[in-house]
Amino acid sequence: MIVARTRSELAGAQQALRRDGARFGLVPTMGYLHEGHLSLVDLVAARTDVVAVSVFVNPLQFGPSEDLATYPRDEARDLAMLEARGAHLVFLPPLEEMYPEGPPAVRVDPGPLGHRLCGRYRPGHFSGVLTVVAKLLGLFRPDVAVFGRKDFQQEALIRRMVSDLDMGTEIVAAPIVREDDGLAMSSRNSYLDVEERVQAAVIHAGLQAALARFREGVRESEMLVGAFAEVVAAAPLLDVQYAEVVDRWSLESVEVADERAVMAVAVFCGKTRLIDNVELG
Ligand code: AMP
């Protein structure tokens, strides 16, 4: 496994790895890896010849009162996990290597989709995400890039960006990997204390309750959100920021759920903000 920290090291590694016709896959991450990230590595490995992973905590996507300074990091552990999983190339750029001129003056505008769901509560977040992903796609020029469905809005926006701006990389979505009790794996789960960790699993239970209602034939979004809220209300450490039924393509709220409906939620568990979603249709 080649570890590149600078643009020139990355270019050298790519030259060495890009044998004739080799297909290149990229898994962008912010590190502090878990099985969810590693499932993306497996997915890309099944579709390409060369698996590249980037590990970069991107300041552009954090708001001023968010957790950039405390975001968990463990480079040695990440590298060991990636090596064991068979990654060929890891890019670990320091800040000045990603943004040599300082914060970029030109950024990607996510448009109206970026203002829905999480975008309403995290202004600038998706512009930061799309800008760094555009840079990574430019640096790696991968044939395939994989993103997790856990970050449902992020995946939808990246898919749109790559299509609207003809970026040429195939975007693949990976299913959500969960802990045994259903909690979606996340680097931020490391913030949870013991009691918070127990109650955090109720988020998934709430989504499953909504899914069960949908499968029974309930279609009114209000009732489906109500089913979620009722379950979550039993966990006092949980505080719902939003719970919405949206169309998976437009991300617009729908009053009546159909086969394209997704329930997306953001929930504070103590001070930790967790997101999750379920495809209803
Ligand atoms: P992050 O390091 O949180 O920026 O995540 C990097 C990539 O891993 C993103 O595409 C995420 O959607 C994906 N990811 C994170 N957690 C999970 C999970 N539990 N299941 C599947 N994909 C995930």
Give the chain's domain count: 2
Tokens linked to 102: 């300082």
pTM for the model stands at 0.97
Is there a single domain that holds both residue 151 and residue 195?
no
Q: What is the mean pLDDT of residues 187-193?
A: 98
Strand partners, 4: 91
- Convert the pLDDT of each residue in 75-101 to its tens digit: 999 999 999 999 999 999 999 999 999
Show which residues are catalytic: 37
Q: With a cut of 80, say whether residue 269 has pLDDT above it.
A: yes
Q: Is the C-beta atom of 147 inside 6 A of ligand 1?
A: yes
**Block residue for tokens 């701006």:** 165
pLDDT at position 18, please? 84
Residue 204's CATH number? 3.30.1300.10
Strand partners, 170: 144
Distances (CA, A) of 200 to 56, 105, 193, 197, 244: 26, 38, 10, 5, 18
Q: What is the mean pLDDT of residues 160-164?
A: 98
Q: What is the mean pLDDT of residues 164-175?
A: 98
Q: Is the C-beta atom of 128 inside 6 A of ligand 1?
A: no
Rounded CA-CA distance 81/42 in Å is 12
- Convert the pLDDT of each residue in 35-59 to its tens digit: 999 999 999 999 999 999 999 999 9
| Average pLDDT of the chain to the nearest whole number | 97
Is there a single domain that holds both residue 120 and residue 27?
yes
Å from CA of 33 to ligand 1 middle: 9
Å from CA of 218 to ligand 1 middle: 30
- In a domain, residue 180? The reply is no
Atom in ligand 1 nearest the alpha carbon of residue 148: 12
- In a domain, residue 212? The reply is yes
Rounded CA-CA distance 216/213 in Å is 5
pLDDT at position 68, please? 97
pLDDT at position 101, please? 95
Q: Is the C-beta atom of 185 inside 6 A of ligand 1?
A: yes
Q: What is the mean pLDDT of residues 21-39?
A: 97
Rounded CA-CA distance 199/212 in Å is 20
Q: With a cut of 80, say whether residue 270 has pLDDT above it.
A: yes
Is there a single domain that holds both residue 119 and residue 143?
yes
Is there a single domain that holds both residue 165 and residue 240?
no
The residue nearest atom 22 of ligand 1, judged by CA position, is 148
**Which range has the worst mean pLDDT, 16-25, 95-104, 244-253?**
16-25
Q: What b/e readout covers 222-242, taking b as 16+ CB neighbours within 10 angstroms?
A: eebbbbbeebbeebebbebeb
pLDDT at position 240, please? 98
Q: How many residues does the chain have?
A: 281
Å from CA of 217 to ligand 1 middle: 31
Å from CA of 172 to ligand 1 middle: 13
Q: With a cut of 90, say whether residue 21 has pLDDT above it.
A: no
pLDDT at position 20, please? 78
- Convert the pLDDT of each residue in 200-249 to its tens digit: 999 999 999 999 999 999 999 999 999 999 999 999 999 999 999 999 99
Position 106 confidence tier, pLDDT thresholds 50, 70, 90 = very high
Q: Is the C-beta atom of 25 inside 6 A of ligand 1?
A: no
Is there a single domain that holds both residue 47 and residue 150?
yes
Rounded CA-CA distance 205/238 in Å is 13
- In a domain, residue 259? The reply is yes
Residue 238's domain comprises: 187-279
pLDDT at position 19, please? 77
